[in-house]
Amino acid sequence: MLRLTRRTNPSRSLEILAPLVAVALTLVVAAILFVALGKNPADAFAAMFWRPVQDLYGWSELGVKVAPLILCAVGLAIGFRASVWNIGAEGQIVVGAIAASWVALATGEGGFGLPGWLLPLLAGALGGMVWGAIPALLRTKANANEILVSLMLVYVGGFLLQYVVRGPMRDPMSFGFPQSPMFPDPARLPILLDTTRLHLGFALALLAALVAWLFVARSYQGFVFRLSGEAPAAAAYAGFSRAKVIWGSFLISGGLAGLAGAAEVLGPIGQLQPAVSPGYGFAAIIVAFLGRLHPIGIIAAALLMGLFYLGGEIAQMELQLPIAITGVFQGLLLFFLLGADTFVRWRLVLGGTR
């Protein structure tokens, strides 16, 4: 008989190795999958993961994908370390995008000596915070499970988006297409590299990762968050309020997700459309855990996840595979990561009943 027994002392190096093992296993299964689909796996991998990053433009496109993933994942990781489970970053992206679009259309020509994109960007962060505040409020006041509330608000946010692009924010000149007018130029995010789409959001993402690292590793509040997650009774004993940690986690992660949504519409998209995110908010959960909830790890994990997105698009165009291949890769990766983590903490033992 097989059974799992807890390891007395899980190895720190195994814990860091686990994501790499998960990535390797994902690629192995993907190769089998390609063979089953009648494709040469070497060609498929080359098309998906090698050719996209052969030139500067490819790398810049990767940067465009990575920016929202990093922004969401570093915020989520701060909450996850405190055992506050915000699963609704996708909804906070969408509401952030709506808020940013609204402000961009209202004030996008700029003024007060400020760049036109600044207020929309801040409005996006605020929108994400408001959407994140709902689960925080219900958790702290009514003890409602924040996982369920934040997840279900994703769908509420999605319907809100469908409503505004068809109703109040629809471009009257759009011939009935559900989309807002294009934003005025000053409201668009500055481009970091000429002739590419790499926008300010990427720089903000790296900055967010740096600040998050400082928060986690060096700040007193970061210590309070970690304590609240790992030893709640010790946090209560020391007098740290759990409610503040829940609110802080949701405002930080919601704000960063809202910022990511704002950067998507103010950057590459340029208007509000019925789809602003191909699941970045959910993928960011995988990114956060793949990166071991550490800001540096998250950047690396986001690059990999970004490559899945990019490669999925290529696979669709060049290999005639459905875009769902991106989702398959994400699912495999999450599966193997959870599996690998299990074996870091538990050991498989053969035989014996007790």
Partner 1 sequence: MPPLLELVGITKRYPGIVANQDVSLAVQPGEIQALLGENGAGKSTLMKIVYGLARPDEGEIRWQGELVVENSPVLARKRGIGMVFQHFTLFETLTVAENIALGLEPGNAGSDLEGRIRELSRHYGLAVAPQAPVWSLSVGERQRVEIVRCLLQSPRLLIMDEPTSVLTPQEADGLFATLRRLAAEGCAVLYISHKLEEIQALCHAATVLRAGKVVARCDPTRETARSLAALMIGKAPPEIEHRPAESDGPVVLSVADLSLPSVDPHGTALKRVSFSLRAGEILGVAGVAGNGQRELLRALSGEDARAPAGAITLAGQPAGNLDPKRRRALGLAFVPEERLGRGAAPKLSLTLNALLTGKRQSLTRAGLIRQGAVERRATEIVRRFDVRTPGIQAEAGSLSGGNLQKFIVGRELYDGPKLLIAAHPTWGVDVGAATLIREEMLALRDRGGSVLLFSEELDELFLLSDRIAVMFHGMLSPPAPVRQLTPESVGLLMGGAGFEGGVGLAQAH
Residues of this chain that bind partner 1 (CB under 8 A): 5-9, 214, 218-221, 223, 226-227, 230-231, 233-234, 236-241, 354
Cβ neighbourhood burial of 217 (10 Å; 0-12, 13-18, 19+): exposed
Cα 291 to Cα 333: distance, rounded to the nearest angstrom? 12
Least Å distance, CB 230 to partner 1, is 5
Phi, psi of 209 (to 5 degrees): -65, -40
Tokens of 153: 């608000």
Least Å distance, CB 345 to partner 1, is 13
Least Å distance, CB 5 to partner 1, is 7
Least Å distance, CB 144 to partner 1, is 20
Cα 85 to Cα 246: distance, rounded to the nearest angstrom? 9
Kindly provide the b/e burial profile for residues 1-29, where b requires at least 16 CB atoms within 10 angstroms of the residue's own CB.
eeeeeeeeeeeeeeeeebbebbbebbbee
Least Å distance, CB 216 to partner 1, is 11
**C-beta closer to partner 1: residue 59 or 240:** 240
The three-state secondary structure class of 275 is coil
Q: Which amino acid is it at 64?
A: V
CA-closest candidate to residue 43, choices 315, 309, 343, 339: 315
Least Å distance, CB 235 to partner 1, is 8
**C-beta closer to partner 1: residue 170 or 244:** 244
**C-beta closer to partner 1: residue 50 or 213:** 213
**C-beta closer to partner 1: residue 315 or 344:** 344
Tokens of 59: 């790398």
**C-beta closer to partner 1: residue 59 or 346:** 346
**C-beta closer to partner 1: residue 196 or 241:** 241
Least Å distance, CB 84 to partner 1, is 17
Least Å distance, CB 225 to partner 1, is 12
Least Å distance, CB 31 to partner 1, is 37
**C-beta closer to partner 1: residue 1 or 233:** 233
**C-beta closer to partner 1: residue 24 or 234:** 234
User: Positive or negative CA dihedral for 145, 150, 154, 159?
Assistant: positive
CA-closest candidate to residue 76, choices 165, 147, 160: 147
Cα 249 to Cα 232: distance, rounded to the nearest angstrom? 15
Cα 164 to Cα 265: distance, rounded to the nearest angstrom? 14
**C-beta closer to partner 1: residue 142 or 233:** 233
Q: How far is CA 300 from the centre of its chain?
A: 13
CA-closest candidate to residue 149, choices 162, 163, 137, 158: 137
Kindly provide the b/e burial profile for residues 295-320, where b requires at least 16 CB atoms within 10 angstroms of the residue's own CB.
bebbbebbbbbbbbbbbbbbbeeebe
